[in-house]
Amino acid sequence: MKKLLTGTLLATLALAGCGSDGEETGNGGSSEGETSTLKVGASNVPHAEILEQVQPILEEQGIELEIETYQDYIFPNQDLESGEIDANYFQHIPYFESQMEEHGYDFANAGGIHIEPIGVYSQEYDSLEELPEGATILMSSSVADHGRILSMLEAQGLITLAEDIDKTKAEVSDITENPKDLQFETDYEASLLVQMYEQGEGDAVLINSNYAIDAGISPQEDSIALEESDSPYVNIIAVRAGDEDNEEVQALVDALKSEEIQDFILEEWGGSVVPVE
């Protein structure tokens, strides 16, 4: 990690300059008065807001946490690969794995932090049962989310998926039963779905909770159906392979899993964001 190595080098030089009167080093490996820097890319909500709560915790350990915010799901991984950031916090495990497979990224999962249940929203209908025959369902173009959404709709009794597939990787073509002849439109950028919902497009719109919350939409109160909180789609801290055991990275993960931060997540979002053990 370029910035972390720089922090370590500065600490080494500072110690060398002290001679026999060298100062004690802190948790981040920096001498007294020196800090190491950890730059983390994150979605605005809830990821960046959670990281802001972690900043003073890491500061006490001699780690300066820099937060770089993103509005999409593409650049955070590109910037992690290039070394522009040291870690990112925005993606769930199936998306993380699909991106490594598709782009050849050499990344590692440093730890799971929380789940954001995906929701179904409609301006016209109050429940999934009310959706008419032939209803149009708008969903993200992210294939990694398709299995998640379709599994949710199957659990709600709207469709049936083929039995011999990994349902986390399911696609619309894997639907075997569709009693209401629902029409799935899957070519929309995830960040645009809030706007489409607010404009009343489609009969129902599937929106990732981070985008919903960022737009002032409450997944708990405004959705007509919400994914169960035992979802396997855990949002993680992603790093380049080999950096998962770095002291600064582990300090970040430990802080995010602390009781203080878990309580903050629960109080701030009331079940729309759920911390994991």
**Where is average pLDDT lowest: 73-87, 165-179, 217-231, 250-264?**
217-231
Count other Cβ atoms within 10 Å, centred on residue 274: 18
Angle formed at CA 227 by CA 224 and CA 228, multiple of 5 degrees: 125
Domain annotation for the chain: domains and CATH numbers: 2-116+233-275 (3.40.190.10), 119-226 (3.40.190.10)
Residue 99 binned pLDDT confidence (cut-offs 50, 70, 90): very high
Most confident region among 10-14, 88-92, 167-171, 269-273 by mean pLDDT: 88-92
> What pLDDT, on a 0 to 100 scale, did the predictor assign at position 33?
60
Q: Which of 255, 262, 260 is nearest to 277 (CA)?
A: 262
Which residue's structure tokens are 């990224």? 105
**Cα–Cα distance between 101 and 93 in angstroms, integer?**
12
Specify the 3-state DSSP secondary structure of 103.
Answer: helix
Strand partners, 158: none
**Cα–Cα distance between 258 and 169 in angstroms, integer?**
32
The tens digit of pLDDT for each residue in 100-110 reads: 999 999 999 99
Across the range 10-20, mean pLDDT stands at 34
Residue 20 binned pLDDT confidence (cut-offs 50, 70, 90): very low
